[in-house]
Amino acid sequence: DQQVKQNSPSLSVQEGRISILNCDYTNSMFDYFLWYKKYPAEGPTFLISISSIKDKNEDGRFTVFLNKSAKHLSLHIVPSQPGDSAVYFCAARITGNQFYFGTGTSLTVIP
């Protein structure tokens, strides 16, 4: 039972444009959401997070939006750079329980 879903396996964007990665979840008990970035042959690295009491969190070029009514999470990267090409995982947490990860979206930024 996939509680966190990333329905787009891949995304291609031109350098300098906006990349929007989407994530849907089913469990209303999730209280914390995160995005991880993964390069080949490396483990995922933490990118940005958002608490369920907020609807937006910004960190430089990265912004995460949370729509609790729609159970939808998105990551915006502006402007996109070739170094952003990686697999992006969204994850959701129930405190004291575990992290649930999506299946990942492979982002390619075209120079």
List residues binding other proteins (CB under 8 A). Answer: 2, 4, 6, 34, 36, 41-46, 49, 89, 91, 93, 95-104
Provide, rounded to whole angstroms, the least separation between the CB of residue 102 and other proteins: 5
Closest CB to other proteins among 102 and 109?
102
* Distance (Å, whole) CA 50 – CA 109: 25
- Closest separation in Å from C-beta 84 to other proteins: 18
At 82 the three-state DSSP class reads: helix
Q: Burial of 77 by CB count in 10 Å (0-12 exposed, 13-18 middle, 19+ buried)?
A: buried
